[in-house]
Structure 1
């Protein structure tokens, strides 16, 4: 397997070989950064964590001290925690309870600010700028976070379902192409994929212009509710990734499309600062062997493609 990356590289977080002593530059197009049996790619703002299928981990960039302490204290928490841009952290206990902390420091000291029980069979947690979303094995989606940015919740905020506690996103239930199988989030944008490869997005258009761009040309779309997003005339979407202000989509036929901010090269489109419509990325990744893209990942300001050979 091969990992390709583009975008923000101020801490050499896209360079897994010896970074040298020169000042790192951002990368403007998808570049081979690692070869290996990759299981999981986890980008943070200043570093990238790669877990291999043999259980080993590799990092590139600058790992904050509290992240180092968390990994030493408990590998399980380090693998399962998600962190919002406002420093809030959530960890799932693997049974049915979520524990929320105001910071990683409080996670390390074991002092949760909130505990949310009765959430069984969670398969994914994601964080956006001011909150979180969770996905169950049956396709149910819960969101919670700062009420000032309720557009990111994708649901009504009521006395019975306040912003700061997990509430079901009912608009993502009983969809035409099946239940939700994956979530992605970043900045003030959230995305969800259905079992039938349809993409739904929502978010705070006032804080993230790309939210409005996602629905450009569509009439009467409420951007703070999950709404279907078409790419390239309605192609099936196999994977989706969301950064602070950009999205990367993989179609079922192996094409990569991007939209949003490109100020650090995170779209892999040299020479442009942003794109307001889904744009196909021309990839030159063969290296003498036939490869296909099998997954996409986004950090706050960078993007990754996972490719496998045939």
Structure 2
């Protein structure tokens, strides 16, 4: 599954420090320490002189990073490198702007889509352990804008539209191999999508989690489809109802109707939506089958979307939210006053609160970051990355 950073780069142009906490068994967060990172500290292991670093992909065992000067590199299990004869491909990636879409799975980055519409695949080089970013775009390849692989191997894709286009085409494939075969030769006799959906509007974000897809349109509408268990679609799929859309087809999340949604985030069995006026909505389940659950989701019924209240405003008013990210079983939110709040699983320290407590059912603030101007947040499955401005002292990191 892809990193949620791929569709949002708030604060672009500002120099921000990247901090991280969470699962570090493969040294994918901090190459200079062993074990999990339970309190937020700098990402270490890339170019020494880097600042203004962004997260392209945050996976279970690999983190892929990008900067305007160093291009793309990785930490952890998967090694993105350069083998002899691959200079042209590597330099093309390094010189290009930040990719518009990056996606992967449990093993690491699968591919990325560059701004010029070319799809690059992370391909194992026979003479080394490195994975080379190799273009697989052919003259026949269709123009795609978003690629989202779910944890159950299904893949959804949206197409580029003309500037005045108002019809969004979404296609689905059983797995990544079938998508790539179709992409390289879409006219092949057996190379065709398993499903094809047509929706009004223009796509802004396409995300996947364990078994569902979420599509945000530029007009603010949110569609969901896939596996309807654990309230993961945020809408009713009961057969026979008037206007009810089946789980297999993209259906509007009606609870968000009339709201101007600016961003969606998804991970595990949960999804979140953030409105332009700072309201945060959440649906799904944090740890299906386990006794632990996020309090605000505990009483939610099938197809129900929950309006999240993060306390801390004046006279007890809930705080406005400006960014949100979702991991496998935790959620992170940045408030308008630049504070970071998290909730859910903390088994690997992914909440960054320097505590051995394994689960937080209520929102908790990372007080150590209260004065450092938190700007953005990105979640991996068991990790949280946050971008901070002035005030952070790297000498305090453990």
TM bin (shorter chain) = 0.7 to 0.9
- TM normalised by structure 1 equals 0.84
CA distance in 2, matches of 1:225, 1:193: 16
Distance 2:69 2:202 in 1: 25
Taking the aligned partners of 2:174 and 2:297, their CA distance within structure 1 comes to 34
Answering whether residue 309 of structure 2 is matched by residue 230 of structure 1, we say: yes
CA shift, 1:38, in A, is: 3.2
| Deviation (angstroms), 1:278 | 0.6
| Distance in structure 1 (CA, Å) of the matches to 2:22 and 2:144 | 24
Following superposition, the deviation at residue 92 of structure 1 comes to: 1.9
What is aligned with 1:138? Answer: 219
**Alignment counterpart, residue 154 of structure 1, candidates 223, 227, 234:** 234
**Could you say which residue in structure 2 is the equivalent of 1:266?**
350
Aligned to 1:126: 207
Structure 1 residue 203 corresponds to structure 2 residue 275 = no
Cross-structure match for 1:25: 35
Are positions 1:84 and 2:150 aligned together?
yes
Checking the alignment, whether the CA contact within 8 Å between 2:59 and 2:108 is kept in structure 1 is no
C-alpha distance in structure 1 between counterparts of 2:322 and 2:375, whole Å: 8
Secondary structure of the residue aligned to 1:3 is: strand
1:256 to 340, 343, 346: 340
Matches within 5 A, 1:87-102: 87-95=153-161, 96-102=168-174
Find the residue that maps to 2:373 and give its secondary structure.
Answer: strand
Structure whose CA Rg is larger: 2
Tell me, in whole angstroms, the C-alpha distance in 2 between the residues paired with 1:209 and 1:185.
Answer: 21
Any conservation in 2 of the 1:66–1:105 contact (CA below 8 Å)? no
Alignment partners' CA distance in 1, 2:334 and 2:108: 34
Long gaps (5+) in structure 1: none
Matched, 1:14 2:26: no
Query: Comparing 155-164 with 244-253, which one deviates more in the overlay?
Result: 155-164
* Structure 1 residue ranges, 4+ long, deviating more than 4 angstroms after superposition: 74-79, 208-212
Distance, in Å, in 2 between the alignment partners of 1:78 and 1:116 is: 15
Q: TM-score, normalised by structure 2?
A: 0.66
The alignment partner of 1:109 has SS state of: helix
**Secondary structure of residue in 1 paired with 2:368:** coil
- Any conservation in 2 of the 1:184–1:240 contact (CA below 8 Å)? yes
Q: CA deviation at 1:223?
A: 6.3
The verdict on how the C-alpha distance between 1:65 and 1:240 changes in structure 2, with shifts beyond 3 A counting, is closer
